[in-house]
Structure 1
């Protein structure tokens, strides 16, 4: 894998480093990526949907008309599913959609999407990312300097309140710590902006 330039906050190259081949240069496994993204989206579901069955709908205790002799179809309750205002046949109830995928599959998927980002030249490495003030315009200026002004995932090594607060108002930007990156976020955002320190954490945690 060719070396990648490390940029400062002004967008100028200060050095070159080689990305870890065990993470950024593997054979991409699309099925593993699919499984993990599906899992992440399922875990995000609230599962608070609820509808009433015919037993839970108010009213309908009396038989609307006698069984025979009216010429109409037999009916037992005006709250049967075929009636307007009746219950739902297979009513949805609150449930937990979350489940887990094997750790090996999650690791493989993460390495696959990082490899994809590297191949598409969408990884931007910063030598450091520090803001003296938590101002959005200062944060945006850094992203513009490094040509990451589209949807960007900014990965930092430590919990930096100035950076997190400065990026909070930016619609297409998300800031996260290196140990918390996931497949869905990496795919969702075009640019993967990572500091050198965060890159070391990724190599330590996910190698």
Structure 2
């Protein structure tokens, strides 16, 4: 189990915390994370794009000129795809882009992402934010003290909506509930800020003991 420093809102180390190895020290599987990312992006697509084929556009189906003697190619209707206003050849139709992925693989992808963040020193543990009311200025100062910038994913728990509202005005930061962890958000920011209460939520959801209890 890895011991990592716990920072306060001023960016000073005040303690250490032991992170469970079954979540934060697993072998990083890049291929598994990529598969989870592709699945997440595919499942976010609406799949509502639609074009009209030649049988769906409005237009006469009468033969536009005689078959022979014109020196031109044979055509039967103006709705053919080669004419302006004709149908779309092989155009998109509404469809589902949904991809499936076994639960064990999804859980493994999240653990790989968390382990990669810890390995690359992108995970910052904080005791608490101490924000009693939503103020963008306060959260900006905290992020500057912890990371030296604003490109960060801030995890929070239920009842900490002040954090979410404070982060929402920062263009390079995002707030995410700890029980909504996903590979895309974990890997697209320079730093991930993890309060201790959010850490408890992650351990309760993504730990192997929880998985064993679920399978039982």
Q: The TM-score by the shorter chain falls in which range? A: over 0.9
Q: Is the 8 A contact 1:130 1:163 kept in 2?
A: no
Aligned counterparts of 2:52 and 2:18: Cα–Cα separation in 1: 59
How many residues are matched?
Answer: 207
SS in 2 for 1:18: strand
Match of 1:166 in 2: 166
Aligned counterparts of 2:175 and 2:58: Cα–Cα separation in 1: 49
Normalised TM-score (structure 2): 0.91
Q: Is the 8 A contact 1:153 1:186 kept in 2?
A: yes
Relative to structure 2, which stretch is displaced further, 191-200 or 56-65? Answer: 56-65
SS in 2 for 1:154: strand
Match of 1:144 in 2: 144
Relative to structure 2, which stretch is displaced further, 141-150 or 160-169? Answer: 141-150
Which ranges in structure 1 are unaligned for 5 or more consecutive residues? none
Match of 1:190 in 2: 190
Aligned counterparts of 1:165 and 1:197: Cα–Cα separation in 2: 18
Aligned counterparts of 1:72 and 1:121: Cα–Cα separation in 2: 69
Q: Is the 8 A contact 2:156 2:164 kept in 1?
A: no
Aligned counterparts of 2:167 and 2:2: Cα–Cα separation in 1: 31
Q: Is the 8 A contact 1:186 1:192 kept in 2?
A: yes
Match of 1:132 in 2: 132
Aligned counterparts of 1:60 and 1:26: Cα–Cα separation in 2: 65
Aligned counterparts of 1:91 and 1:122: Cα–Cα separation in 2: 43
